[in-house]
Chains A and B, each alone.
Chain A
């Protein structure tokens, strides 16, 4: 109890620090722990894009941006601490890059009036903006990803009577697609086997033995961090055909396949944005950020899949901020204005081209009813000899006939549990 006094004094000092006039985009990153391999490139991409805006354009609408970083180690308690320590600094939007932290922050951000963008992760039913007023998960969510993987398999042949195994991280994140895959299995007539892997997923011998025994035709994986590398390696060990192994976008980065070497050749992953670094924006990143020595982290991640995703997340946040500035006619926006900007966000092909990212992601429009975007999903494949991911199918629609009822059902259950009046005002 005696320790509290110096702590309180320190807190008083913290609170007294000057109010920043920048546009603040806090980055709840994780550069340590078993998920660091995924957290580092994403955080670098996120920070570098804002650095680029500051260096090249002088910020957004003339106001400089700042990206205070806070280490969460993918841990929900630290995530909460990070959120509390940054929310009073004028934070405009949160992107925690963790489904666990997202669940924690959905009620908190809604109560505090700060929007949260969980791009391709988090609570899928947050796509229903009528219930989740401050949570956005455009342009695609977990269920779109699951449906995208099944659609890809359907394009390769009939699925009835085939066996599909889902290898998943035994957490809220990994469990998300189960409902969707079950519904789709009724529709398309495949057998679904569920194979959970416990955190952090370094030990998967028994899971892959089971796969070897049951010989599923296809394996879909929802993994993250060290679990991905181990799974790809184990799949290679049991000689599972990599062509029939599909990961979600969180299981489809260079870090996941490089350790397995040539054996990983042909492994596939769904995606909702472009891969590679042959987009004009990367020239600017190199010129203004990396070569100027202002890159986040080691600056060696430019152009990797997760770096691109961080950059895409930052780009969407910056565009939403621009939209907010236009709507409210002020450059110095608040979190509430940012929310309006996100809800009115429209990404067109021309806008993407102007930003130096032509064809990087699908064109879409957010509305109050739909915080989830169109859910367009493409497929990428790993080429082990060239050490590159390549797009092998265009962004295509996912099965919203199955997904939309699930979203409505889950979000309405949330609304009932928390006594939220659903509706757009």
Chain B
């Protein structure tokens, strides 16, 4: 019934090569986009924007970034928090240094700066692998946080070491600062997420993605068939850091508005994004969305059920939240190592065969 190729004739290579070759899937994608752009902005309120939608959109970008590096290219990174901080501080310096330039370009430039920093920290990946690389990126995490705390130039010598996003406009509508409307911040992040996802999807299913996956699956074999490991690994670090930098910039400028590096971009952030791609599915763009949605929504839902419906004490619910997230990670690692994305794939297969599975 669903997800069938039958009757969906393609006469050109372009048709055959599109992202969603199955008609049903393609229409589903258009519907999701239409709802996201055309319906949600009219329903959204401050609470849902700030409690769920903004963090979901922003973490999705970060998860896409980390997924390119870890899921597609196989380079384990624990430096996500640090790279998000680079994006945030780059964005802050640009916003305060060039107040006349549109914030949209600042955020893209912040991504570019993060890409450079990420590439620099990616250099050790040419020599070390696996756990050792994870430790090297961990060093990046701690170094970057220390740097932004230590050098007061990064926070414009403010007494508190905090960075605050000044008010900035897109088409005359404020998207940062205090007087933002929920729909404006939502749409602003959604545009970035959509563009990021389209770029990431097309990169990963093209030649570049195949090179990354070849390196991930077996780097020696990849080298023998002509993949340059230097370029493949560093490009993965650059592209991944670019997305992570954008997410860090949005996280600071649009979502929080004021940031303190040690608290917001600490090691927990790196782990959170890593958990997102593990639960969502390594090597899958959809998995990045699913993991981000899952880990952002879970605490909110648990809180709504535990505190607002059942009336439990807040600390018990907060502790339960930790227990449940931990248990879920173990369950996923054992029962479904490929994450929610794999469940989705299996569901699609089942739907294709339904109602005649044999």
- Which among B51, B167, B297 is the interface contact of A418 at CB below 8 angstroms? B167
CA gap between A84 and B303 in the complex, in Å: 14
Beyond the given pairs A100-B260, A171-B161, A176-B159, 12 more chain A to chain B contacts, judged by CB atoms under 8 angstroms and listed by A's residue number, are: A4-B293, A10-B304, A29-B314, A40-B315, A71-B315, A71-B317, A78-B299, A84-B46, A85-B51, A87-B46, A108-B257, A418-B178
Q: How far is the CB of A296 from chain B (nearest CB, A)?
A: 9
A199 within 8 A of B: yes
- Which among B46, B160, B299 is the interface contact of A172 at CB below 8 angstroms? B160
On whether the beta carbons of B36 and A1 are closer than 8 Å, the reply is yes
On whether the beta carbons of A11 and B160 are closer than 8 Å, the reply is no
Q: How far is the CB of B154 from chain A (nearest CB, A)?
A: 14
On whether the beta carbons of A418 and B166 are closer than 8 Å, the reply is yes
Q: Do A178 and B166 contact each other (CB < 8 Å), given the known contacts A29-B314, A76-B263, A81-B50?
A: no
Chain A residue, CB-CB nearest to B162? A172
Please report B residues at the A interface, Cβ cutoff 8 Å: 32, 36, 40, 43, 45-52, 55, 149, 159-162, 164, 166-167, 177-179, 255-260, 262-264, 266, 289, 293-294, 297, 299-301, 303-304, 307-308, 313-315, 317-319
CA gap between A23 and B48 in the complex, in Å: 24
Residues from chain B with Cβ under 8 Å of A10 in the complex:
301, 304
Residues from chain A with Cβ under 8 Å of B40 in the complex:
4
- Which among B160, B299, B308 is the interface contact of A14 at CB below 8 angstroms? B308
Tell me the interface secondary structure of chain A in the complex.
helix
User: Restricting to A60-90, which residues have a CB under 8 Å from any CB of B?
Assistant: 69-71, 73, 75-78, 80-81, 84-85, 87-88
Please report A residues at the B interface, Cβ cutoff 8 Å: 1, 3-4, 7-8, 10-11, 14-15, 29, 31-32, 36, 40, 69-71, 73, 75-78, 80-81, 84-85, 87-88, 99-100, 103-104, 107-108, 110-111, 123, 170-172, 175-176, 178-179, 196, 198-199, 410, 417-419
CA gap between A29 and B307 in the complex, in Å: 13
On whether the beta carbons of B55 and A172 are closer than 8 Å, the reply is no
On whether the beta carbons of B319 and A76 are closer than 8 Å, the reply is no
CA gap between A1 and B257 in the complex, in Å: 25
Q: Can you pick out 29 interface pairs between chain A and chain B where the beta carbons lie within 8 Å of each other? A: A1-B289, A3-B294, A4-B293, A7-B48, A7-B297, A8-B43, A10-B301, A15-B45, A70-B314, A71-B317, A76-B263, A76-B264, A80-B256, A81-B300, A84-B47, A85-B47, A85-B51, A100-B263, A103-B162, A103-B164, A107-B164, A110-B178, A111-B178, A111-B179, A171-B260, A172-B162, A172-B260, A418-B177, A418-B178
On whether the beta carbons of B266 and A73 are closer than 8 Å, the reply is no
